[in-house]
Structure 1
Amino acid sequence: MSAIVEASQISTPLEAPGSANGTVAIEQGPKPQERVPRPKRPNYVQIHSRPLPLNIYPLPTFIPHNPLSLLRIAYALFSQFFWPPSSHPPDSYKGYFSHETQSVHVTDVKTIRALWERGFFGKGNLSRSEPRWLDQEKRKRGLLVLETSEEVTRQRREDRRQFKLERARKEREAIEQQLREEGKLGDLAPVNETLGTEAVVESEQNPLPFSNGNANNHSELNSFTSGSMDVNPLENDSNEADRTPWAPEATISSNEVAIDGLDEVLEDEEHLQLTCEESFFLVYGLGVLEVSDQGTAIQTSALFKLFCQNSSFPSRRASTFEPDNPFLLKYVVYHHFRSLGWVVRPGVKFAVDYLLYNRGPVFSHAEFAIIILPSYSHPYWSESSERKLQTAKKETKDWWWLHRVNRVQTQVHKSLVLVYVDIPPPSHGTPEDRGFNIGNILKRYKVREFVLRRWIPNRNRD
């Protein structure tokens, strides 16, 4: 007869000086599971090597112990001085203005990738930030193996939620153990029951998905509620990794035989959406974008007037623009921080005007949150009592508003920066005039920055 002995039951006798028979049995535990290697991340340093959508021609590297490097540098300087290469792309990027969304839309795929990878301009209208809708659809249909950025973010949030639930369970057990030792254990809810309630609250905040996006579809709702669902997220199931998450079935036409054919018929329905400030910076500041309206290219002065008119809702149709126009204030601040090398992104998610990134959203979180405040410090605005009342209404902010905004930025680990823009007196020129110069208008504005941090008594002591 052959005997089968498990590896976990094998004991190896070792000599021990303090034991009775001179040997002690040490059991070998199960082998540790091998860690699954994480998927390789894209090389963002190489992808986003250019900070702006311009061509850069750096000089060759100087090598001290190689005299030929001086000749290469001299040749590069000589050739670029007499035959300067163009820093702009051969063809300008194209976009069209949308009056419905009051923004500029870019539909060309190459232009979308160029504007996002070289300066993080715009956002995908069907994505959180980077235009990745096509990759997400391919991922849902099983045509793409790599995980998208949205899936990575969703997985991190789920891991963070599981960690918080596990921490709450351990704290609850520690409290019960302490009360049990002191004899004060009363009618406390069990740990599993408490965590189950939290899981139900989480499920109510994140409703179940439906294939057609309609929450009133009773047939799909019955299909979800008919089966048994486990509300305890801490229960360890060995078959959890083998389960396939629910996803809506892809609709395949009759002439499609296999799912591989979807890769050819699947079209990208996403476009890049640029704000008015980003568009005008690309048109006026860099000169790489051409904006059209109903198929007609718009000149820079006409585009300036168009953005000023659409800076508020409903749009204004006045022939003259006010010096405190919202578009002017936002663009002055946007141009100011872009010229300093910051990556400026909209900050509506955190109740601010802009967010400042050191290199970009893919490298690190935003360091500063910007709020734009108009400042009527010019003597023109205090000449009459009527002007004083008008400017006082626009400048007045109560302390409760400041505390609320600062508290939000503290919770998300960002420094609040109050940017005051000095409003000049109104000018008599209009964009239709021949002598109208946008540069002279922007020079009249001044920007002042104040970094505000929350005062905490425990950390800020004398």
Structure 2
Amino acid sequence: MADPAGSSVPPQPAAKHENGNVESAANGRGAPQKESKANAKPASQRPRKPNYAKIHAQPLPIVTHPLPAFVPHNPLSLLRIAYLICSQYFNPPASHPPKRHVAYLSYETRSVHVTDPASVRALWEQGFFGKGSLSRSEPTWLDREKHRRGVESGQIKAEDYTNKRRQERREMKNERARKEREALEEQLRKEGKLVDESTLESAAQESSAAATLASETPGQDSESLTSAEKSANALKELALDEPVQNEEHLQLSLEEAFFLTYSLGVLEVVAARTKKTVEPLQLFQLCRSLSYFPPSSALQVRPDDPFLLKYVVYHHFRSLGWVVRDGVKFSVDYMIYNRGPVFSHAEFAVQIVPSYSDPHWKGQEKKEMSPWWWLHCVNRVQSQVLKTLVLVYVEVPPPIEGPVKDIGEFLGRYKVREFVLKRWVANRMRG
């Protein structure tokens, strides 16, 4: 709108205050706008999760070189495949690491220990082999210890989440118990079964007076408590100054160690007592012996040895691409994962059942079979944790004469049959 003099009023520039806020000149009241994003308090961001797809890209600790896909409508793809076949034939690429991982056989724990940090990470990230001796599964004790001491801040581990949930559950139970106690006292007070309020007030005054007198007269207890706190703080500062030593190792089961040694050839097992390398055939005999408790010294190979049955099933599922982990937590022999425990929960629980269907075992003494109620208990446990029970029947072959000379030929005599079992509940399975 023009003024009486005929000149229009030019727009005034926006006024800028010291705090950086800009207010419009058209707003006569000069209402300040919201604070700028630069002055806003930065929100605490949760640390990003690791890229597990990249970390666990290799399903096994070996490198595979697959051929490219053949495209029928693109003849050049056939030339590319032929070129790669010829190049790999004359100059085959290496599939195994340049140096095998070293592990130590422990007779006391009946397991194999890997102590080298690089080998520990490689075996865990490439196939989820073993477990940390001080962790639930992945060896993360060193990171958790550094995080506890405040040396460095990293990703929150599974053990930290578990401790947090336990603390919250404990506080919730204490709060619930307190409310129940208060409600009970209130009910008893209404019914006249408690002392009157005047008696309670007098008792409270006496206790407060005694507490005040004790606080005004410091004794030896407070001095000893102060000295104990000082010594504890000094020890804590000394512990923070010292470098954190990794006290954790990777613990492999006998089946995992033999699979890495014999089938893949990426692990070298050394006897902890003699410091000598254990050959695959010798390791085979040691694993058979350690599968019994106490360890057996029999030289004759029994076809239904616990190690043989478990390794046949372990090798079977590993060859099919499954990640096999121990299943003692869920009362079974194995848990099998599609990709690994960091991606999803186990879908199937495997229970090994030896089958003596060969004519050789007729009329001979067999192992005692589990009762029917045991099977129902195991199946109920799996249904509660949303897993499917798989009964794996291992056909036990007749024994051989003499020692085992060819491991591959000996293991080829076993056959595996899978039987899926589900718990059927009438109320839940209705359509």
Judge same fold: TM > 0.5, yes or no: yes
Instruction: Tell me by how many angstroms 1:72 deviates.
Output: 5.7
Instruction: Tell me by how many angstroms 1:37 deviates.
Output: 3.4
- 2:124 is aligned with 1:120: no
Correspondent of 1:41 among 37, 49, 52: 49
* Cα deviation digits, residues 266-323 of structure 1 (max 9, x gap): 2111111100000000011111111111211111111101100110110000111211
- Taking only the aligned residue pairs, the percentage that are identical comes to 57
Instruction: Tell me by how many angstroms 1:38 deviates.
Output: 2.8
Correspondent of 2:414 among 417, 425, 445: 445
Larger radius of gyration: 2
- 2:70 is aligned with 1:101: no
CA 1:429–1:454: 2 relative to 1, 3 Å = same
* Cα deviation digits, residues 385-411 of structure 1 (max 9, x gap): xx1xx32x522x222111111111111
CA 1:459–1:70: 2 relative to 1, 3 Å = same
- 2:385 is aligned with 1:412: yes
Q: How does 1:3-402 map to 2 (within 5 A)?
A: 36-59=44-67, 74-146=82-154, 147-155=156-164, 251=235, 259=240, 261-262=241-242, 265-293=243-271, 294-382=274-362, 384=363, 387=364, 390-391=365-366, 393-395=367-369, 397-402=370-375
Q: Distance in 2 between matches of 1:77 and 1:447?
A: 34
Q: Distance in 2 between matches of 1:72 and 1:86?
A: 20
Q: Distance in 1 between matches of 2:328 and 2:253?
A: 12
Q: Distance in 2 between matches of 1:128 and 1:102?
A: 19
CA 1:60–1:400: 2 relative to 1, 3 Å = closer
Instruction: Tell me by how many angstroms 1:347 deviates.
Output: 0.7
CA 1:250–1:152: 2 relative to 1, 3 Å = farther
RMSD, aligned CA: 3.4
Q: Distance in 2 between matches of 1:155 and 1:139?
A: 15
CA 1:79–1:38: 2 relative to 1, 3 Å = same
Instruction: Tell me by how many angstroms 1:68 deviates.
Output: 8.0
CA 1:417–1:326: 2 relative to 1, 3 Å = same
Q: Distance in 1 between matches of 2:171 and 2:100?
A: 49
Q: What secondary structure, in the 3-state scheme, does the structure 2 residue paired with 1:297 have?
A: coil
Q: Distance in 2 between matches of 1:321 and 1:355?
A: 27
What amino acid is aligned across from residue 149 of structure 1 in structure 2? A
Q: Distance in 2 between matches of 1:378 and 1:89?
A: 42
* Cα deviation digits, residues 97-146 of structure 1 (max 9, x gap): 10000111111111000000000000111111111111111011001212
- Aligned residue pairs, count: 343
User: Which residue does 1:4 correspond to in 2?
Assistant: none
What amino acid is aligned across from residue 352 of structure 1 in structure 2? V
* Cα deviation digits, residues 48-87 of structure 1 (max 9, x gap): 0000000123446889999987766554333212100110
Instruction: Tell me by how many angstroms 1:444 deviates.
Output: 1.0
Instruction: Tell me by how many angstroms 1:36 deviates.
Output: 4.8
Correspondent of 2:399 among 417, 422, 426: 426
CA 1:82–1:314: 2 relative to 1, 3 Å = same
What amino acid is aligned across from residue 448 of structure 1 in structure 2? R
Q: Distance in 2 between matches of 1:149 and 1:67?
A: 51
Q: Distance in 2 between matches of 1:83 and 1:371?
A: 44
CA 1:123–1:412: 2 relative to 1, 3 Å = same
Structure 1 residues without counterparts, runs of 5 or longer: 1-32, 177-186, 189-218, 224-247
